[in-house]
Amino acid sequence: MNNYLEKILQGQAINYEAFLKKLPDVLRQRHRELFSTEKAGPNRWRVTVLDEAAFEALREQAAAPVSRVDAARKGDSHRHGTEVSFLLVYHHALTGHRPDSVVIAGDSVDIAYTPASRVLVVENERNFYHYRQMLAFTGECLGEPVALKDCDVVLGGGNRITRTADLNWLAGYDEVLCAFDYDAGGLQMFASVRSALGNKACYLQPADWQLWLSRFRKTPDATERFTKAIMLAEDLGFVSLAQAFRATGKFMEQEMILDE
């Protein structure tokens, strides 16, 4: 929308029909009162603003929100990421079975323990609850024992862990181990984490996928998702995982790690 509005201001021709589709319904119904047009070529029109007040209101509405509250005022709070993040964490200093929490508000981090040198980020809540099994799986993947005394465990909760503030906090660890689903979504999450953290980020995988092929049970929602997963796996250098996708035609959800 902003691109169209700027072109109108600069007197450049636009695809007026495409522009109308982006207008709010109430303005689309009144577009002849707001704009006049002059054909400039195939699917291109120069637009003259007839109602300056309405146009300025539209520009303000389309502008990128500066906060979650500002986005809510503009009708969709999801246009801006939340400024506060809450992460659940298991760590070595816990005295009970409940996880601790970390509160991240911009550059401010409220944390009541000393982080370990490495962290295991678990996407799924059930797997996070069974963190001991996930640490054992991590050790199998890495070929070395991994315990809570030297590895914190964080609930990633889907894409929330890819928020900038969360990634900035994770950057304080020497190593970030990622236990995500083995599908397009999990690989896309990891690609975002690696883009921010570089070689600190590690996508946990068994040493031999052949032993795990029977656990690939989830049928992809669409062919495009399956193709995307293969492409992402290959782009990330996970050739064996791409081969597992092709061999089974399915994805593996991380709950299958707990299926002993």
**pLDDT (tens digit, 9 = 90+) per residue, 176-211?**
999 999 999 999 999 999 999 999 999 999 999 999
Residues of the chain under the 50 pLDDT cut: 64, 66-81
**What is the total count of domains within the chain?**
2
Claim to verify: residue 112 and residue 214 sit in the same structural domain: yes
Which amino acid makes up residue 93? A
Claim to verify: residue 183 and residue 213 sit in the same structural domain: yes
Which of 29, 52, 79 lies at the terminal end of a domain, its last residue?
79
Q: Which residue has the tokens 């000393």?
A: 114
CATH code at 175?
3.40.1360.10
Query: Could you give the CA distance from residue 145 to residue 160 in angstroms, rounded to a whole number?
Result: 28
Claim to verify: residue 46 and residue 90 sit in the same structural domain: no
Read off the DSSP letter of residue 23: S
Which of 44, 79, 114 lies at the terminal end of a domain, its last residue?
79
Residues 134/153, Cβ–Cβ less than 8 Å: yes
Claim to verify: residue 222 and residue 150 sit in the same structural domain: yes
Claim to verify: residue 22 and residue 65 sit in the same structural domain: yes
Q: What domain range is 44 assigned to?
A: 2-79
SS3 breakdown of the chain: % helix, strand, coil, rounded to 5? Answer: 50, 20, 30
Is the pTM higher than 0.75? The answer reads no
Which of 32, 54, 79 lies at the terminal end of a domain, its last residue?
79
Claim to verify: residue 122 and residue 247 sit in the same structural domain: yes
Helix, strand or coil for residue 142?
Answer: helix
Helix, strand or coil for residue 251?
Answer: strand
Claim to verify: residue 8 and residue 99 sit in the same structural domain: no
Query: Could you give the CA distance from residue 146 to residue 155 in angstroms, rounded to a whole number?
Result: 17
Angle formed by the axes of helices 223-235 and 184-197, nearest 10°: 30
